[in-house]
Amino acid sequence: MSGATILHADLDAFYASVEQLLDPTLRGRPIAVGGSAQGGVVLAASYEAKAYGVAGGMPGWRAARLCPALRFVPGRFREYQPLADRVMEILGDVTPAVERISIDEAFLDVSGSTHLFGPPAQIAALLRRRVRAEVGLPISVGVARTKHLAKIASQVAKPDGLVVVEPERERAFLDPLPVGLMWGVGPVARERLAERGITTIGELARTPSDAVERILGHATGARMSALAHNDDPRRVAGAGRVRSVGAQSALGRQVATPALVREVLSHLADRVAGRLRAKGRAGRTVTVRVRFPGMRSVTRSLTLPGPVATTLTLTEVAEQLAWQAIRDQPGRDVEITLLAVSVTGIVGQEALQLELALHPDDPRRPGSEHGAARWAVDRSVDAVRARFGAHAVGYLPAAMPRLHTVPDEFRELAEKDR
């Protein structure tokens, strides 16, 4: 392995920072999102509140006792996801290798971007500037040779900082840090290690692996021992990953009727959404291509407020886009020869799972009541298909003779994910 080219970018006190961004009177003040002085639980605390020992997960009454000036705010949850998505888009401007691991943090591999944007430290500084200027939020970045070390570096960089760990400085950087900063070391592990006199990462690295395994159990012990030596082979998952998923159907030459368009698009959406779900992914931008006689094509796309991977939602969006293209054509009884659906702006499923909590009413969101129901239906369709095959179940009537002239298995070979 070579240089320090992995970035871990993590928004600072994300929920609290958003509240301070949206309400300037909260800036510079200790605030808690969620909970109250009477009860409930604090979901997030601003840095001003953290200075008093207030932390996420703490009962509200306790937070109020620690910091009498604490302002409790209810949390504008609908604002969080779009702002975090904008940050992720900025990160995606410097490399396609962005692996989002939660709503507000991601790993980036910038090894392929240095010729365009300069050394990794410069890229990290650029991203921090852009996130601050364009979204208005503080973000800390760690830069290192491995994911594990980049994540530790970003924690050390907080708040609102940048820490670069060059390979020759790794040992000196890690040695004095508390073991609790390591990914996967929780309070229990920390206590067990402390009982054996191990409190720093350096002490952990100097303890033989088999001794650590006796303390933490075989698997965890071996992993922690390796990480203490910065031995972490995990790559950034975004690297070389899928950037678009699509499917198309040639139709011969047919008049575009609502029934035909619906039938074809739901079939295509089913294949695209199924492949997204199989990869644990979802996408925000839906593009539909309609081809007319004479090989003339029209493309329409729409970027949704959140990522989709549900068949029915994708069908509805695709239908809307297809009709925009068809209605723009002169005359009645417009003929079409091909329909294609693709999804880009691909993100990991963790972003989607967050949607479940964050979006109560937009029906296209998985978090809405309808969205959650659609998601549940899709999951069971996927499960049945995994056992009994692709044609076992679906939204469609099984008989679609017009489209089954070419078996789906052959189509899918041609539908390469890019």
The catalytic residues are 105
Q: Where does 229-348 have alpha helices with state H? A: 258-278, 311-327
Pick 157 or 198: Cβ nearer Mg ion: 157
Pick 151 or 271: Cβ nearer Mg ion: 151
Longest distance between any two alpha carbons in the chain, whole Å: 82
> Does 153 interact with Mg ion (rule: CB under 5 A)?
no
Spatial neighbors of 175 by CB under 8 A, at least 6 apart, are 200, 201, 202, 205
The distance of closest approach from Cβ of residue 139 to Mg ion in the complex, given in angstroms and rounded to an integer, is 8
The distance of closest approach from Cβ of residue 347 to Mg ion in the complex, given in angstroms and rounded to an integer, is 17
Taking residues 14 to 53 in sequence order and writing x for each that binds Mg ion by CB under 5 A, - otherwise, the string is x---------------------------------------
**Containing H/E element for 281?**
strand 281-292
How many CB atoms are located within 10 Å of the residue 70 CB?
Answer: 24
Taking residues 349 to 388 in sequence order and writing x for each that binds Mg ion by CB under 5 A, - otherwise, the string is ----------------------------------------
Q: Extract the annotated binding site for Mg(2+).
A: 10, 104
Q: How many residues bind Mg ion (CB under 5 A)?
A: 4
On the CB side of 252, how many CA atoms lie within 13 Å of its CA? 7
Tell me if 91 sits within 8 A of 99, measured CB to CB. no
Pick 147 or 364: Cβ nearer Mg ion: 147
Pick 112 or 136: Cβ nearer Mg ion: 136
Pick 11 or 45: Cβ nearer Mg ion: 11
The distance of closest approach from Cβ of residue 87 to Mg ion in the complex, given in angstroms and rounded to an integer, is 11
Interface segment toward Mg ion; rule CB under 5 A; list 5-13, 15-23, 361-369, 374-382: 5-13
Tell me if 138 sits within 8 A of 132, measured CB to CB. yes
Q: Which of 178, 161, 177 is nearest to 169 (CA)?
A: 177
Q: Which of 10, 85, 270, 316 binds Mg ion (CB under 5 A)?
A: 10
In the block, residue with structure tokens 């297809």: 322
Q: Which of 48, 99, 104, 270 binds Mg ion (CB under 5 A)?
A: 104
Q: Which of 192, 194, 153 is nearest to 170 (CA)?
A: 153
The distance of closest approach from Cβ of residue 11 to Mg ion in the complex, given in angstroms and rounded to an integer, is 5
Interface segment toward Mg ion; rule CB under 5 A; list 104-112, 222-230, 326-334, 380-388: 104-112
Spatial neighbors of 65 by CB under 8 A, at least 6 apart, are none
**Amino acid code (one letter) for 18:** V
**Radius of gyration for the chain, computed over Cα atoms and rounded to the nearest angstrom:** 25
The distance of closest approach from Cβ of residue 83 to Mg ion in the complex, given in angstroms and rounded to an integer, is 12
Tell me if 57 sits within 8 A of 42, measured CB to CB. yes
Residues that bind Mg ion (CB under 5 A): 10-11, 14, 104
